[in-house]
Amino acid sequence: MSTIKEIQAKTILTRSKIPGADYCLNPYVGCLHGCRYCYASFMQKFTDHSEPWGEFVDVKTNAAELLEKELKRINKGSVIISSVTDPYQSIEAEHRLTRRCLEILKDTGLSVSILTKSPLVLRDIDLFREFKDLEVGLTISTDSEDIRKLFEPAAPPIELRIKALKQLHSEGIRTYAFIAPLLPMNPERLARRLFPHVDMVLIDRMNYTYKTRMIYNAPYQKARLKVRASGKRYNKSNFPCIGKLRPLVGVLDKKHGLEKWLDRGFTEEIIQRLRRVLEEKEVVLC
């Protein structure tokens, strides 16, 4: 059972440290997708929630009003929606904060980049068409639905995300796939599934391994449980009980050899294999 709370935010646009984006716009605090690797869980300290990350969301009910006010002092640049939440997580269907913010942004001349894991983004295609400079990205970190279930348990299936990219692209919207964090996958198969539907692909490896190391190491865990004890940033409240995941982890380890996916040399090879297929298809890579 998730906790959804309506709040009044103090600001809505924040300066961005993400390359290519001047501002971040996050209509929600928290994210019901609850990805196990999510770096944004640090946002919990700005809330009064004690629930685990993935089980609460604060809805910034005044997001659109704040945006209108803050845009009075900004007339150029780029905005990413979102950086620490998913703007099209399921509650957006009811609250429509992302849509209301987009309705305001479309007349500003700011360039807008949307990043989500949800096919709910298709609801706003009518609005996207009204922008001069807008792109929509879907995060697709693996081609394996079992791996997706392990790392992104409450996020929409991979197939639905690819279908969303396909529809957006076919409707003339500029699209990108965000392959990050790189999860166990068949790189050639993923690249071939993506390339017809995207203008650009961004790739990044798993940078926050302190959150997922227990999963990768679980099959070898007896000797390695020290990792848990020594991981200073390990936060039990943000981490699922590995006990429940053990059967799934065991099956996936046999298939993918999970631990090697923590090795930088190995993941670099995977990135090169993705790049080779995508470059052949003339997809722009970042």
| Contact residues for ligand SF4, defined by CB under 6 A | 31, 33-35, 38, 40, 85-86, 117, 155
Instruction: Please identify, using beta-carbon distances, which residue of 152 and 253 lies nearer to ligand SF4.
Output: 152
Instruction: Please identify, using beta-carbon distances, which residue of 33 and 49 lies nearer to ligand SF4.
Output: 33
| Residue (of 183, 149, 156) closest to 267 by Cα position | 183
Amino acid at 117: K
Cβ 33 to ligand SF4, closest distance in Å? Answer: 4
Cβ 117 to ligand SF4, closest distance in Å? Answer: 5
DSSP state of 92: H
Cα distance between residue 23 and residue 12, in whole Å: 10
Distances (CA, A) of 95 to 25, 44, 70, 104: 16, 21, 21, 16
Instruction: Please identify, using beta-carbon distances, which residue of 85 and 175 lies nearer to ligand SF4.
Output: 85
**DSSP H stretches of helix in the chain:** 63-70, 92-95, 97-105, 125-128, 145-151, 158-170, 187-194, 213-217, 221-224, 226-230, 242-256, 264-280
Instruction: Please identify, using beta-carbon distances, which residue of 35 and 258 lies nearer to ligand SF4.
Output: 35
Cβ 85 to ligand SF4, closest distance in Å? Answer: 5
Cβ 86 to ligand SF4, closest distance in Å? Answer: 4
Instruction: Please identify, using beta-carbon distances, which residue of 78 and 238 lies nearer to ligand SF4.
Output: 238
Cβ 57 to ligand SF4, closest distance in Å? Answer: 10
Cβ 13 to ligand SF4, closest distance in Å? Answer: 18
Instruction: Please identify, using beta-carbon distances, which residue of 134 and 140 lies nearer to ligand SF4.
Output: 140
Instruction: Please identify, using beta-carbon distances, which residue of 71 and 216 lies nearer to ligand SF4.
Output: 216
Decide: 63 and 100 in contact? Cβ < 8 Å: yes
Cα distance between residue 92 and residue 245, in whole Å: 29
| Residue (of 46, 131, 124) closest to 85 by Cα position | 46
DSSP string across 21-73: -SEEE-SEES-TT--TT-GGGGGGGGS---SPTTSEEEEETTHHHHHHHHGGG
Cβ 100 to ligand SF4, closest distance in Å? Answer: 20
Looking only at the bridges linking them, the beta strands covering 56-60 and 78-81 are unpaired
